[in-house]
Amino acid sequence: GAVVSQHPSWVICKSGTSVKIECRSLDFQATTMFWYRQFPKQSLMLMATSNEGSKATYEQGVEKDKFLINHASLTLSTLTVTSAHPEDSSFYICSAIAPPGQWPSGANVLTFGAGSRLTVL
Amino acid sequence: AQTVTQSQPEMSVQEAETVTLSCTYDTSENNYYLFWYKQPPSRQMILVIRQEAYKQQNATENRFSVNFQKAAKSFSLKISDSQLGDTAMYFCAFMKLTGTYKYIFGTGTRLKVLA
C-alpha cells in the first residue's frame, strides 16, 4: 500500500519564527497532496490542495502568505508556517492520493502522514 | 455543496460486543466514494473501509462492515466483536469522483471500547 511520511512529528518554536513541515510519498508519486489542520477533539479542516509544479489551491479563510505550500517534486510537498504566532499552534496533517495506475486497489484512497504538532511559544 | 453529518459525538461499547456508528451525507452527485477513517490516540489516520456509490453490495473488511443506503444517503459503520484497539475517533468522509479528489469529513464519533 501507499505510505506517506511527515516530518517533524512535533516542533516547538518561538513566536515570529518560521517552521517548515515536510510531507513525502515514499512508494508512489503524488501529483496532488493535501494539508489539513486539526484542533483538539475536532475534525480535519482542509487548508489547501498542493499540486506538483503549480501553485497550491487554498481554502477560503486560509492565509496563503502565512501558510506557504511548495510541491516541487512528485514525492515532496512542504508547508511553511511563516512568522508563527501562538494561535498557529495546532496539529497539521498531510495526505496524498496515489494515482490509480500506481495502486489499483487503493484508488481514490487518501493516505495520511502521521501529523506534526506545532507549538508556538 | 456536499455535507457529512455524524450525529453521535461519543459512543461506548463493551469488548466483544457490536456497535454501529451513524453517518449521513448530502450531495447531488451520483458517482462518489464514501469512507470511514479511524484516528487512534496516536492521531495517525487509518483507512477502515470504503464504498463506491455505484456498488449496491455493502463493503466489508473483517470485523468492519457498512450499511450503505444510497437513496437515504446513509452510510453507517458496524464494528463486530469490538476490541480494545478499536478505541479511536472515527470519521466518515465523502469524495466525489469529478474534480480535485477533495474529501469532506464529518465531525467524528469518539468510540471507547470498555474492558
DSSP-derived secondary structure for B61-82: ETTEEEEEETTTTEEEEEE-S-
Dist. CA B53–CA B58, nearest whole Å: 10
Q: What is the pLDDT of residues A57-109, one digit of tens each?
A: 999 999 999 999 999 888 999 999 999 999 999 999 999 987 766 665 666 78
Residue among A39, A34, A21, A23 nearest A88 (CA) = A39
Task: Tell if the CB–CB gap between A43 and B91 is shorter than 8 Å.
Answer: yes
A42/B101 Cβ within 8 A: no
Average confidence (pLDDT) over B77-101: 92
pLDDT digits (tens, 9 = 90+) for A25-34: 998 888 889 9
- Separation of alpha carbons A10 and B45, rounded Å: 16
Smallest Cβ–Cβ distance between B101 and the set A41, A93, A97 belongs to A97
Rg (CA), chain B: 14
A114 touches chain B (CB under 8 A): yes
User: Which of B101, B109, B110, B112 is most worth mutating to test chain A (most A CB atoms within 10 A of its CB)?
Assistant: B101
Q: Is A115 on the interface with B (CB under 8 A)?
A: yes
The owner of cell 508556538 is: A120
Residue-wise pLDDT for B29-66, tens only, equals 888 999 999 999 999 999 999 999 999 899 999 999 99
Per-residue pLDDT band for A37 (boundaries 50, 70, 90) equals very high
Pairing assessment for the beta strands B109-114 and B10-14 based on DSSP bridges: parallel
**Contact criterion met (CB below 8 Å) for A84 and A72:** no
Asked if the Cβ–Cβ distance from B95 to A108 is below 8 Å, we say: yes
Q: Which pLDDT value is given to residue A109?
A: 83
